[in-house]
Chain A
């Protein structure tokens, strides 16, 4: 693709970039012709700084005895409705915190208020006009507003988006993806990064199946082609059908995390 250049002598042009030349030969394009150019090998993940902060988040969560799940989906798949059901179902049995990521507004956080959970709202609009995902640094700042030592479970509601949130480790212990049957069977093939990242795929809005042409078997075979190992839970956050299975999945992980932490001490 063309690359616009502005040189120190004031001339400007674009030139096509070809991969068959040696980048050490900076030639007339250098603007620093009087100096040598050396290549510094880096070979480091672009997201290493994010990953470092994510690891620190995970350590803080473990130290506080908290197990965290990063919940991702496209907008409108039913994350907030599922969270609401989850808070009601877990009741006082599990001490839950919610880290609510939204580009703007506190509407989702407001909806989850009064259900006994500690809620921390992270508006991502502080980034470049509204980041489309949570990253580890945003979650780190959200964690400071939660009483970690008084929680067992942290539900991180990511920004509604089927692409970007999957790329960013925020320090969670597991990734859950909420997918609604209204989204079409082909979505795993179109958004493989998200579907590959999920430890559990919650298939939501199954109460609508009688009214749709949705082919559940085709969806499941597409999902398996991308992610053969994810747990699949079918439910309706609207009617409550299947929510027990989701809560059981959460409880099992809380127990395993407890046992792992007990065996370390």
Chain B
């Protein structure tokens, strides 16, 4: 249930950026290796914003695949399991290129005050 803490952190960030302007939509980018459950985060967001003036603010969760670059064969492959190995040649000498993201990408704000 760290989704609730993440939801609160997203909300704090959003309010800090938006000031008193209305917020229409928020997008977060969550890496595949982060073990965040999208439905739980969505549920936490709705709970946290319910009966506030962000109740209509939509949370968009972009899933970022885990991509590794293989130092042996040079391939960039996408991981399904979190096992850090090249999907092409199975070598374990890989560098993680994406999949650990936990970031607030953008917010859509309207003019005027909330």
- Listed in ascending order, the chain A residues whose CB lies under 8 Å from chain B are 1, 3-7, 17, 19, 23-24, 26, 29-32, 34-50, 127-128, 131-133, 135, 163-164, 167-168, 189, 191-193, 196, 225-226, 228
Contacts and interface: CB of A to CB of B under 8 A. Distances in A.
B71 to A, nearest CB: 13
B87 interface: no
Nearest to A23: B25
Interface in B92-114: 92, 102-112
Given A36-B111, A46-B9, A128-B4, A193 B105 contact: no
B60 A40 contact: no
A189 B105 contact: no
Given A36-B110, A42-B107, A44-B103, 6 more contacts: A29-B56, A34-B112, A35-B22, A40-B17, A41-B106, A47-B9
Interface residues of B, number: 44
Nearest to A33: B110
Interface in B19-56: 22, 24-25, 27-28, 33-35, 39, 42, 46, 55-56
A39 B82 contact: no
Contacts of B10: 46
A192 B28 contact: no
Nearest to B14: A42
B106 A39 contact: yes
A42 B104 contact: yes
Nearest to B48: A128
A47 B102 contact: yes
A189 B82 contact: yes
B15 to A, nearest CB: 12
Contacts of A167: 2, 6, 34, 102
Contacts of A45: 102-104
A185 to B, nearest CB: 14
A49 B62 CA distance: 21
A46 B106 contact: no
A168 B2 CA distance: 9
Contacts of B107: 39-40, 42
Residue of B4, B35, B42, B102 with most chain A CB atoms under a 10 A cut-off = B35
Interface of B: 1-2, 4-6, 9-10, 12-13, 17-18, 22, 24-25, 27-28, 33-35, 39, 42, 46, 55-56, 58, 60, 62, 81-85, 92, 102-112
A168 B102 CA distance: 12
16 contacts: A3-B58, A6-B55, A29-B56, A36-B111, A37-B24, A39-B108, A45-B102, A46-B104, A50-B9, A132-B2, A164-B5, A189-B82, A193-B35, A225-B84, A225-B92, A226-B82
Contacts of B108: 23-24, 26, 37-40
Given A32-B24, A44-B13, A164-B1, A4 B102 contact: no
Contacts of B24: 23, 26, 30, 32, 37
B105 A42 contact: yes
Identify the interface centre among A26, A31, A192: most chain B CB within 10 Å of its CB. A192
B114 to A, nearest CB: 9
A196 B104 contact: no
B92 A228 contact: yes
Nearest to B102: A46
A5 B58 CA distance: 9
A192 B42 contact: no
Nearest to B37: A163
Contact of A44 (B1, B35, B39, B104): B104
